[in-house]
Amino acid sequence: MSAIQSEWLELNPSLRAWYARPTNPGPHPAVLVFIEAFGVNEHFRELAERLAKAGYCAIVPDIYHGKVYEYTDFDGAIGHLRTLKDDQVMAEAQTTVASVLQRPEVRGPKVGVLGFCMGGRYAFLANAQLAERVAATVAFYGGGIAPDKDPAGRPPLLGHVNQMQAPLLLLYGAEDSSITPEEHGRIAAALSTAKKRYTLTVFPEAPHGFFSDRRDSYRAGPAQEGWEMTLAHLGRGLGVQA
């Protein structure tokens, strides 16, 4: 486990990111982290630090631009989610990746991508739109990838699958009523048809949001196993020895 440091970085006048890294000079592989719909809260700052302790430079772009919602404020969080545009989020992700890859302690030329809930959808999209810079992607219960109809009005993402290059790890909970088995099937069919490398895992008795220990939906067993799978997947993609 590495000694770490963490801080806010100003990437440009309109975008900041939470950044955590090992204190030794490295260079270390980097991971771009996409948030849930609640903002860059304490959970995500600690998640970045957890990745740093595992040897990664973790960067979390503040795509909510300073807004943070309590986990009980579902209406506020989803209301903010509805205002996001995919092109803008991907542009901010591209800025974030370019910025972190310029840092002397970071080893390029590619990064890992990790996202949760809303951020799982953005991780899936980034695998396609930032394909030249992505070595591995992990998406926890990414909602809105291939729904029958997205309640937030977001476009489905399966049309981007052919652009993907990096292997995907997709993690879901069997008790997640917002992402159905039929949606799992559509995602798997699209990736298999396009001959992409992916793993799709469903955890029994796990609801949506099972990874965050700040949420009532937290499930310790699936969260720990999902974390171990995440580190193994990122490690393979970025050439990190387990």
pLDDT digits (tens, 9 = 90+) for 6-46: 999 999 999 999 999 999 999 999 999 999 999 999 999 99
Is 176 one of the annotated active-site residues of the chain? yes
pLDDT digits (tens, 9 = 90+) for 67-116: 999 999 999 999 999 999 999 999 999 999 999 999 999 999 999 999 99
Catalytic option among 57, 176, 184, 233: 176
**Mean of pLDDT values over 181-201:** 98
Catalytic option among 43, 80, 160, 208: 208
Confidence of residue 240 (pLDDT cuts 50, 70, 90): confident
Task: Tell me which of 3.30.70.3150, 3.90.550.10, 3.40.50.150, 3.40.50.1820 is the CATH number of domain 4-238.
Answer: 3.40.50.1820
Is 208 one of the annotated active-site residues of the chain? yes
DSSP of the chain, one letter per residue? ---EEEEEEEEETTEEEEEEEESS---EEEEEEE--TT-S-HHHHHHHHHHHHTT-EEEEE-TTTT----TT-HHHHHHHHHH--HHHHHHHHHHHHHHHHTSTTEEEEEEEEEEETHHHHHHHHHHHHTGGGEEEEEEES-TTSS-SS-TT-PPP-GGGGGG--S-EEEEEETT-TTS-HHHHHHHHHHHHHTT--EEEEEETT--TTTT-TTSTT--HHHHHHHHHHHHHHHHHHHT---
| pLDDT higher than 70, residue 241 | no
Catalytic option among 43, 80, 117, 160: 117
**Mean of pLDDT values over 211-230:** 97
Is 28 one of the annotated active-site residues of the chain? no
